[in-house]
């Protein structure tokens, strides 16, 4: 719908300082996942390589593999609050790398980058002639500092596909509406795949997305404030319990270290589920660099979080006393 693309164009320019023409530089997709898939299928040839920071969203590497590309993980670390650095990219880079995937703020760690770090990453991308797929689905849920889109850095708009959607900021997960913005030649290549594989995103969902952009920002900001409060509580409780946890600057996830319990991340997650009926996700679900951590989501009520962290505390205490 051109009405939605126009609304997206206004929203992105206002909030991310990048202008895109709704006629040929924006495509509406069935969630960001479809946009990512379209980009890989349109742009990646068999054997070409994709850099992505890890721990990361579970579908990045499989999506590369499905188009016969080669994923090249770039580790991030708790000591850096899981921020990606240009130095880490340079150390991981290999001949044949064509695309860099960014997810800032990141699922599962909540890690993100400041302007100086983004500028250094942009410089690296230009030096290595990389296309950038920038998944910024959690950007509105940034709690400290500013969110800086790499597409807004001079010289980057023409080599970046900006990926975003409505699932997180506007709590429209089941509506399955995402979008990609980028140079018209790249969007046209993605459209060729989209029109034969998906036809279009649901019109009902597109109408809902227009409403969200026109009248949903106040509600989104109020929700962000509540997430901020819940993040502070959960991180404080994890550290009190003895599970070291950095303060994520964005998203609605925490990523505590459970290695201190003597359990692997999988053993801890299964044990906690069986003993206390609290679910967390083993960090290795998001890549090998997630070993020793679990992802805990705080997108639920404050009362539920109090109960959940009390149960986690009880489980950790039982491990220390040798009862589990």
Tokens of 278: 């609290």
d(C-alpha 220, C-alpha 149), whole Å: 19
Q: Count CA atoms closer than 13 A to 126's CA, side-chain side.
A: 14
Domain of residue 113 covers 2-215
CATH code at position 304: 3.90.1150.10
In this structure, are 274 and 140 located in the same domain? no
Query: Could you read off the pLDDT tens digit of each residue along the chain, which spans 324 residues?
Result: 999 999 999 999 999 999 999 999 999 999 999 999 999 999 999 999 999 999 999 999 999 999 999 999 999 999 999 999 999 999 999 999 999 999 999 999 999 999 999 999 999 999 999 999 999 999 999 999 999 999 999 999 999 999 999 999 999 999 999 999 999 999 999 999 999 998 899 999 999 999 999 999 999 999 999 999 999 999 999 999 999 999 999 999 999 999 999 999 999 999 999 999 999 999 999 999 999 999 999 999 999 999 999 999 999 999 998 765
* Nearest-10 Cα torsion for 51, 108, 38, 174: 180
3-state SS, residue 9: helix
Supply the pTM of this predicted model: 0.94
What angle do the packed helices 217-241 and 203-215 form, to 10 degrees? 90
In this structure, are 153 and 302 located in the same domain? no
CATH code at position 34: 3.40.640.10
Query: Across the beta sheet with 253-254, what order do the strands follow?
Result: 253-254, 294-297, 281-282
CA 236 to chain centre: 23
Query: What's the structural domain count of the chain?
Result: 2
């Amino acid at each position: 719908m051109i009405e939605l693309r126009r609304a997206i164009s206004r929203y992105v320019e206002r909030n991310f300082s990048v202008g895109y023409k709704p006629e040929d530089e924006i495509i509406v997709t069935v969630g960001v996942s479809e946009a990512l898939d379209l980009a890989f299928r349109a742009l990646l040839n068999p054997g070409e390589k994709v850099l992505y920071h890890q721990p990361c969203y579970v579908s990045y590497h499989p999506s590369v593999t499905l188009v016969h590309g080669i994923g090249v993980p770039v580790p991030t670390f708790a000591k850096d609050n899981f921020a990606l650095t240009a130095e880490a990219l340079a150390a991981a880079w290999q001949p044949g790398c064509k695309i860099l995937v960014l997810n800032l703020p990141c699922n599962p760690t909540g890690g993100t980058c400041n302007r100086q770090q983004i500028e250094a990453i942009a410089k690296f991308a230009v030096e290595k002639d990389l296309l950038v797929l920038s998944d910024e689905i959690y950007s509105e849920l940034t709690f400290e500092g500013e969110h800086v889109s790499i597409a807004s850095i001079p010289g980057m708009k023409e080599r970046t596909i900006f990926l975003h959607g409505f699932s997180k900021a506007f709590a429209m997960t089941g509506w399955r509406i995402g979008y990609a913005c980028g140079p018209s030649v790249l969007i046209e290549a993605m459209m060729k795949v989209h029109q034969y594989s998906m036809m279009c995103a649901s019109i009902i969902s597109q109408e809902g997305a227009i409403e969200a952009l026109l009248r949903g920002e106040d509600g989104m900001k109020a929700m962000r404030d509540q997430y901020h409060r819940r993040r502070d509580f959960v991180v404080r409780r994890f550290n009190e319990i003895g599970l070291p946890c950095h303060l994520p600057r964005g998203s609605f996830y925490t990523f505590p270290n459970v290695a201190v319990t003597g359990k692997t991340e999988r053993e801890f997650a299964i044990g906690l589920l069986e003993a206390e009926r609290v679910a967390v996700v083993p960090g290795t679900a998001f890549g090998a660099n997630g070993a020793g951590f679990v992802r805990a989501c705080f997108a639920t009520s404050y009362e539920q979080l109090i109960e959940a962290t009390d149960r986690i505390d009880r489980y950790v205490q039982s491990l220390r006393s040798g009862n589990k």
